[in-house]
Amino acid sequence: MEWCQDRYAADAYRRGSVSDPPGPSGGRGRVIRGGGWSSRPAHSRAAYRDGIAPGSRYDFLGFRIARALDAAHDQTAPNPNTR
């Protein structure tokens, strides 16, 4: 399972976009997604989401670092014209 930046709201998909809803602007819980090594099969998929308190710690819960790339300015982006 991975932490997400979004705040958790059980009705986020009913109130907003069904494609990556941002959730509420405030609240006590944070979204967690996916499954872990000890998860039930129904929870072992990327679409699974739940919410827990930000201070919670579990051995199956982590995070993924991601950033948006601008390929035009990123020197590490592969050049499609070279092989």
Nearest to 54 by CA among 13, 8, 9: 8
Q: What is the pLDDT of residues 29-68, one digit of tens each?
A: 998 888 877 888 888 888 888 899 988 888 888 887 777 7
- Domain contains 18: yes
Three-class SS state of 60: coil
Tokens representing 5? 């930046």
Q: Is residue 14 part of a domain?
A: yes
The whole-number average pLDDT for the span 8-19 is 76
Count up the domains in the chain and report the number: 1
pTM: 0.64
Is residue 77 a part of any domain in this protein? no
Determine the structural domain holding residue 18 and report its residue range: 2-52
